Structures are given as structure tokens and as C-alpha cells.
Structure 1
Amino acid sequence: MSDIRSNRVAEQMKKELGELLSKKIKDPRVGFVTVTDVDVTGDLQQAKIFISVLGDEQKKHDTLVGLAKAKGFIRSEIGNRIRLRKTPEITFEFDEAFEYGNRIETILRDLNKDK
């Protein structure tokens, strides 16, 4: 039962974060951010937010620093929008799956060129 609820909360958080990051965060360090996934624990105490950032490594680092500084604001906004008794503690992490997939696709393309 709690697994279903945590999935619903994660999906709602993902939706709200997408809107929040594009419209409310004015920090110039935060670049073009896409929320790829949100993982919420079963007790709804922790939320791990996976993001993808357009740009080089420096831009990714700056975005992570900017999001860490805005963590309190983001958490309070999510709490107001979702109306949970206790808003989960959030952490941001890069989603490496997209880059990993691109690397595999490049390797496969190169192998097919050699044939």
C-alpha cells in the first residue's frame, strides 16, 4: 500500500518540480534542467530527484550548487502544492542514464560503420 502511495507522491513531485524549476527558480547558476525521475522512500521521508542538465561539466556543477542553495525554497513550495503532512527531505542527483545510452549508441554506430 505504501509503495503505491510513494509512487503517486513521486509522480506528483516530478510534475510540480518541472513547473517549479522552469518558472520560479531565478538563480542564474541553474541552467536548463529536466527532472527525469523522482524516487521517494516508502515512509515519504526522503526524495531523491534525478535531473539532467544541458551543458558542459561546469554548467552541471553550477546547476547542482544553485539547486542545493534553493533546496529549502523548493521543499516549501512542494509542501504547499502537494499538501503532505510532512514534506520529504530532497536531494538532487544527476541522471547518468541518458549519457550512458548515448555512449552505447555511438559505440554501436561505430561498429556498424566498420562492417
Structure 2
Amino acid sequence: MANRRQQRVEQLLRREIAQLLLRGELRDPRLSPASAVSITGVDISGDLSVARIYVDVLAESLRSADVLDALASGAGVIRHKIGERLVMRRVPELRFEADESIARGARVERILSELRDTGALEPEGAASASKPDPAAGEIGRTAASDAPEDG
């Protein structure tokens, strides 16, 4: 669990890097259009020396590998610009990584949708409406049987 300082630095780094990209301050053609690159998260080490920045490429016209290469090659410039804007003793080393969570989530959703279409999976909400929850009955009976007896 990150402490408050780590969380604050993560938020600041995320905001500043996103602003640098949106303003086009990196001037790398592999990052154009800048609005197609999203900073989805930042994790910083406990000693605040290394920050992993998670990036998602939203445009199909951009290749994720090219964007990551551009960000990695511009990491020094990004650190310098962050150092000018934020009051920090030391700006952490920046490591850019692809954020696959959005793509994985979309893939899971697509699989669930296919299962629903084939009938292998009940539509959302249908299971709870059509069948009683057996676990709820067990919990109720267990709680009643564990109750202290009057006496």
C-alpha cells in the first residue's frame, strides 16, 4: 500500500506527463496525435526513485511499441520538464510500460458476450432473478444455529 506521499507524487507525475503529451512538448512524430496516448497509471517505488508509467495507445494508427520507444527515448526530457514544474528534491527515473488492462478487459467482455449469445452463459441479472442463492440460505441457517441459547 502506497503512503500518502507516494500517492501524491504518482498523481502529480501522471498529470504532468499527460499535460506534456497533450501540449505536444515532446515533438516526436511517433507520439502524434498526442491525444491518442493515455497515461493510465503511475506506480512509484517506496524511496521515490523509480516510477513506472503505464501507457495505453488509443489510436489504431499508432503502434504501441513505437509509442513506448518514443517515450523511453524522451524520458530524460520529460524528467527535466517535470523538474522545472514540480518542486521535488529528485525527479524519479521514468520507466514506460504498456497498459494491457484495457485490452484484457475488452477481451473478457467479448468472450462473456459470445458465451451469452450461444446460451452457455445466462444474461446478466438473470441468474439472481431466476434462482435463489443457496449460499444465502446456508449463511442464514448457520447464523441461526450459532446463536446463543437463552438460558
- Give the total of aligned pairs: 114
Aligned to 2:79: 75
The structure showing larger relative contact order (alpha-carbon pairs under 8 Å, at least 6 residues apart) is 1
Answer yes or no: is 1:27 the counterpart of 2:31. Answer: no
Aligned to 1:113: 117
Residue 33 of structure 1: how far off its partner (Å):
0.8
The structure number with the bigger radius of gyration is 2
Runs of 4+ displaced beyond 2 Å: 54-58
Contact 1:30 1:64 in 2 (8 A): no
Q: Which runs of 5+ in 1 are unaligned?
A: none
Aligned to 1:15: 15
Contact 2:51 2:92 in 1 (8 A): yes
**In structure 1, what is the Cα distance between the partners aligned to 2:61 and 2:20?**
23
Q: TM-score, normalised by structure 1?
A: 0.92
Q: Which runs of 5+ in 2 are unaligned?
A: 120-151
- Tell me which amino acid in the other structure corresponds to 1:27: D
Percent of pairs identical after alignment? 38
Which whole-Å deviations, capped at 9, do the CAs of 1:48-73 have from their partners, x for residues lacking one? 00000124597111111111111110
- Which is richer in strand? 1
Aligned to 2:92: 88
Q: TM-score, normalised by structure 2?
A: 0.71
Residue 19 of structure 1: how far off its partner (Å):
0.5
